[in-house]
């Protein structure tokens, strides 16, 4: 069996995709590959000035829309203008940054990576006709969802643990959404993907000495951003995926290579925690998410 590449993407002519954080890195590479296959792509980004050159490089199949996942007012404004798509790709994220809070007072990593996408998906899901793909990370393995302190109000902040928590939340959300969609009889599906170890602008934002090592690792060990985008592209386009599936690189212990089904922490299968995370996310964001 040959290894799946972007060349295996079926003709996407007539299909519409919304990709959050598509101004650089994995999101930009995902948008480029989809547009090359014929799709129309919307680059939903906080920094529209950085997104415009990417859209211009792609050509007439690309448009840019303002979306700041760290500000729920921006998320709601985007959703009000949203006129539908086949696929929503929840790609945007921040990693291991110093302690900050979103416009709504959430810890920045949980607020951006999970809660912003949770609200976005809740608001636009009725207009998504095919599937939702949410980006997690192999770092979800260090995540332990603290439902009593999701926003680090009580705990001493630990940036990597906070990142792992947010990525575990992404994985749990994608899997819980899949089960709720199936239970409702919906034809829309939900998948989760992770890029393995890919060189992107996500690294180097910790404002610590770790940035030096991460940038060195990007040059020596990491695969390219286009390589890291393959699991997302596979989850978003392949007819061989399944609702609730988790996809990532299949070589070098899941750090690189062709995409396929990926292993994950057993914690992500805990239905009780997933259900409570959903409830807490609704409460924190004042958003009713009924599938």
Active-site residues: which are they?
A: 163
List CB contacts of 2: < 8 A, sequence separation 6 or more: none
How many CB atoms within 10 Å of residue 84?
11
Spatial separation of the C-alpha atoms in residues 282 and 291, rounded to whole Å: 13
- The helix (run of H) or strand (run of E) holding residue 90 is strand 85-90
State the CB neighbour count (10 A cutoff) for residue 11.
10
User: What is the token pair recorded at 16?
Assistant: 């519409």
87 forms bridges with which residues in the sheet?
Answer: 17, 131
H/E element, 251: strand 246-251
């Amino acid at each position: 069996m040959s290894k799946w590449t972007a060349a295996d993407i079926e003709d996407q002519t007539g299909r519409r995709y919304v990709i959050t954080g598509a101004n650089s890195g994995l999101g930009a590479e995902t948008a480029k590959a989809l547009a090359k296959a014929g799709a129309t792509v919307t680059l939903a980004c906080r920094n529209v000035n950085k997104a415009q050159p990417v859209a211009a490089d792609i050509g007439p199949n690309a448009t840019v829309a303002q979306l700041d996942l760290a500000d729920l007012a921006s998320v709601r404004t985007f959703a009000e203008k949203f006129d539908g798509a086949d696929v929503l790709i929840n790609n945007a994220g921040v990693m291991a940054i110093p302690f900050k809070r979103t416009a709504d007072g959430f810890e920045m990593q949980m607020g951006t990576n999970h809660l912003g996408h949770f609200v976005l998906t809740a608001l636009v899901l009725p207009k998504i006709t095919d599937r939702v793909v949410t980006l997690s990370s192999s770092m979800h393995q260090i995540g332990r969802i603290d439902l009593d302190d999701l926003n680090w109000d009580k705990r001493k902040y630990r940036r990597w643990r906070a990142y792992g928590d947010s990525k575990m939340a992404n994985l749990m959300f994608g899997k819980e959404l899949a089960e709720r969609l199936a239970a409702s009889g919906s034809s829309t599906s939900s998948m989760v993907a992770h890029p393995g170890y890919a060189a992107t602008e996500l690294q180097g934002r910790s404002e610590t000495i770790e940035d030096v090592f991460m940038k060195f690792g990007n040059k020596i060990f990491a695969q390219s951003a286009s390589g890291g985008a393959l699991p997302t592209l596979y989850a978003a386009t392949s007819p061989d995926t399944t609702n609730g599936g988790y996809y990532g690189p299949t070589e070098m212990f899941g750090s690189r290579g062709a995409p396929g089904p990926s292993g994950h922490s057993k914690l992500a299968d805990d239905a009780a925690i997933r259900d409570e995370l959903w409830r807490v996310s609704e409460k924190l964001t004042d958003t009713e998410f009924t599938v």
